[in-house]
Amino acid sequence: MRKVAFIGTGGTIASIGKGPLDYVNYGANGVMLQAGGILDRFPEVQQVAEVFAVPYRNVPSPQIGWKEWQELVLLCDKVVAETPGLAGIVVGHGTASLEETAYFLSLTLKVPVPVVVVGSQRPASSLSTDAGLNLVNAVRVAADPGARGLGALVLLNDEIQAAREVTKTSTGRMQTFRSPDFGALGQADGDSIVWYRKPLRRLAPETEFDIRRLAALPRVDIAYSHSDADGTAVRAFTAAGAKGIVVAGFAPGFVTPGDAAALQEARAEGVIVLQSTRAGSGRVFPTTKLAEAGFIPADNLNPQKARILLALALTVTTDPAEIARIFAAY
């Protein structure tokens, strides 16, 4: 039996509602299991690996951000250092911000073992919950030698997704996590873990970002494009001290005249402007118009992922050409 660590951060996968049909208002019950309690509730996980709990904390995932991301990176370092023969790590997480945590880990982890982020759409207490099987399959993936070298992975609904590409696409359906442009890396089937492709962009542990001693990430905000946007949000972000602004623009990468004027003002103050789109799929093309405006294309990263990479890029450089290189590499 391979040895796998399970770190619990809370979320739906840890939640206990008021009954088996409570899978909408379960958060109001205020009950979340610690990592060990989740393993106890689904003892079948011990049939696929030797799994042990690593205490951390229990919170809804909208409460997870920079501070928790840094703590998770350090905790993974600690678990690997203290556990000889560790095959992999599973991180339980709420689905609301799961993709952001997974992508941050995929850019910053330095451990040699696979890290798989798992959640569930239904609480652990509900009828037909997906929590137990998702957890079992995440452990199977973390213990699988084929998971090495792929960065942080996401496992829900029997599908293995790359952290860079996956996004939550439905509020309540089980197939919510999708990789729109490229699809899953593999599947956790009943008989075996099956792989079909590998991500080619740079990812952990071979990245240039080291956040272990970092006090904070540079402030990066997202300005969402919409008809009649007049630059108010952009100017507010600039006034608040943003070092970078990601534009969730009209596809394939446009903004209103009002936002364009405000973004030029921001650039004049040294703010890096990154052009993403609100489309949810596809690249922002490096057009002449973008180059003349001084905006850096975000490739095919969605705005929330682009924000994370830009913040990390700003920890190593403020040179727009270097930041463009980073977005082409990662």
Q: What is the domain range of residue 240? A: 220-329
Question: Cα separations (Å) of 230 from 191, 233, 236, 255?
Answer: 55, 8, 12, 10
Kindly report the pTM of this predicted structure: 0.96
Checking DSSP bridges between strand 177-178 and strand 167-168, what pairing results, if any? antiparallel
Q: Are 164 and 65 contained in the same domain? A: yes
Question: Is residue 186 situated within a structural domain?
Answer: yes
**Residue 12 appears among annotated catalytic residues:** yes
Residues of the chain with pLDDT under 50: none
Judge whether 156 and 132 are in contact, CB under 8 Å: no
Question: Is residue 74 situated within a structural domain?
Answer: yes
Binning the chain into helix, strand and coil, the percentages to the nearest 5 are 35, 20, 45
Q: Are 44 and 181 contained in the same domain? A: yes
Coil, strand or helix at 273: strand
**For the domain that residue 233 is a member of, what is the CATH number?**
3.40.50.40
| Domain boundary residue, one of 129, 162, 195 | 195
Identify the pLDDT of residue 22: 95
Checking DSSP bridges between strand 3-8 and strand 50-54, what pairing results, if any? parallel
Identify the pLDDT of residue 156: 98
Q: Are 145 and 235 contained in the same domain? A: no
9, 12, 207, 238: the active-site residue: 12
Q: Are 175 and 230 contained in the same domain? A: no
Judge whether 107 and 312 are in contact, CB under 8 Å: yes
Identify the pLDDT of residue 108: 98
pLDDT in tens, 249-280: 999 999 999 999 999 999 999 999 999 999 99
Q: Are 121 and 259 contained in the same domain? A: no
Q: Are 178 and 65 contained in the same domain? A: yes
pLDDT in tens, 140-190: 999 999 999 999 999 999 999 999 999 999 999 999 999 999 999 999 999
